[in-house]
Amino acid sequence: MLEIKNLNVSMNGKPLLQDINMTVLDGARHRLIGHNGSGKSTLINTIAGDKNYTIDSGQIIFNTKDITKENATTRALLGMFLGAQNVPEIPGLTVLSFLKHSMIAHKHFETGHDLSMGEFLEKLENAREQLDIPKDWLNRSVNVGFSGGERKRIMLLRLILTNPTFAMLDEPDSGADKDVQQQIIDTIKKMTDTTFLFVSHQDNFANNINITKTTTLENGKIMIK
């Protein structure tokens, strides 16, 4: 699913990741661990195409395609999903509009056809009921006034609707109570066609997801045990 070859990453000239070699197998539940500042979020955001990070050398291969120079939008349309740790508030853009435009873009990219409003609303309603998300949340601005746990549930709603090939979740359990954590676990278990790469500091949470492999980062390097 994902192969990283000799990846070196910097920001404003400061080296952040050094000689990263990592493979994520199709269908994996792959966990990244390491102390704060070890490079976990940097790696995930670099894979997702965050333009704040500079790839100095190396390659990112996704589904046999070299995406090293592709932007974040293209990577998302190819099937990548990022559940970031700190998602910005977007005043004026409702959750409903955000989800609709995202699904329209994915539908057109995958099939060349437009997504009908009826199809969108049907999928949205099914996902909303699955997560027990109140309807009034859909008319609120993205992340404005939402608690940490509520933001995680909106992230899950987006995850279910886009149904990505490959999902990266950066500390999905952070700021979530036990009920929301269980929702995250249940959702991941149900999405058997999606490969997951995630960061989690909580062993109990991670173990419930049936980890297939763990990679440890330290000072921007992968630690070989």
Judged on CB neighbours under 10 Å (0-12, 13-18, 19+), 42 is buried
Name which residue leads in pLDDT, 174 or 214.
214
Q: Which of 20-29, 199-208, 216-225 has the largest mean confidence? A: 20-29
| pLDDT (average), residues 32-52 | 93
Which pLDDT tens digit goes with each residue over 164-210?
A: 999 999 988 877 788 888 999 999 999 999 999 999 888 888 888 88
Q: Rounded mean pLDDT of the chain?
A: 91
Range of the domain at 203: 2-222
CATH number at residue 47: 3.40.50.300
CA distances (Å), origin 23, targets 28, 46, 73, 223 = 10, 15, 22, 14
> pLDDT per residue over 124-138, tens digit each?
999 999 999 999 999
Query: Contact, 200 vs 44, CB < 8 A?
Result: no
Q: Can you give the pLDDT at residue 80?
A: 95
Predicted TM-score of the model (pTM) = 0.90
Burial of 43: CB neighbours in 10 Å, binned 0-12, 13-18, 19+: buried
Joined tokens for residue 223: 């630690």
Q: What's the structural domain count of the chain? A: 1
